[in-house]
Chain A
Amino acid sequence: SQKIEQNSEALNIQEGKTATLTCNYTNYSPAYLQWYRQDPGRGPVFLLLIRENEKEKRKERLKVTFDTTLKQSLFHITASQPADSATYLCALGNTGTASKLTFGTGTRLQVTL
């Protein structure tokens, strides 16, 4: 069965450092992968999408890589700030008439001063 693994342990880093979150998957051949941010008591908010034929995507301080051979995506936040503290979810999807996403459990990031 399809399985998506994100580090269930919280990631604690110091302000200014680069945070790297991992998303590994098995038994899946996604057409694209998305990263979402979720704050406590709120719904997920879309951050970045990367397609299967793309290696890397950037948006401001965010960078996503996608390795379909390793079946892995890495999500980087450079110059991290306390405001980046949240849970980050990866989601895999395939094209179709409506996107059907399969989500990981998420990794909680805590950025301290």
Chain B
Amino acid sequence: ETGVTQTPRHLVMGMTNKKSLKCEQHLGHNAMYWYKQSAKKPLELMFVYNFKEQTENNSVPSRFSPECPNSSHLFLHLHTLQPEDSALYLCASSQGQGEETQYFGPGTRLLVL
């Protein structure tokens, strides 16, 4: 266990559905991240939050909407997704002070039909 949990672990949704991914970290970290991992591609950084403030939005389509109510919780709200959005979505956390290790959750495997 890395101290970062994600729910659900698997999700199947239609293109018209609205769903949310949840991430929680129990490490006392201040920074949280969303990544997308597709087959044969490197991890793509989507969003970064540091002390609850969004510090990075890596040109992510608006159908992905992050929310960070506090330093321990991070959500990714999904709506009107496309089949090409099917991937493993990983959440990570870190201290939030420069050079440091990121701790990853197990990911949510998303399938968009």
A residues engaging B (CB < 8 A)?
4, 8, 31-32, 34, 41-46, 49, 51, 89, 93, 95-106
Contacts and interface: CB of A to CB of B under 8 A. Distances in A.
Contacts of A46: 101-103
Contact of B31 (A41, A99, A103, A106): A99
B50 interface: yes
Chain B contact residues (Cβ within 8 angstroms of A): what range? 20 to 34
Nearest to B58: A100
A49 B99 CA distance: 9
Interface string B55-97: 1100000000000000000000000000000000010101011
A39 to B, nearest CB: 10
A97 B102 contact: no
Identify whether the interface residues of B are mostly helix, strand, loop, or mixed: loop
Contact of A98 (B31, B103, B107): B31
Contact of A42 (B48, B94, B101, B107): B107
A49 B100 CA distance: 8
Contacts of B50: 97-98
B42 A43 contact: no
Contact of B98 (A89, A97, A103): A97
Contacts of A8: 40
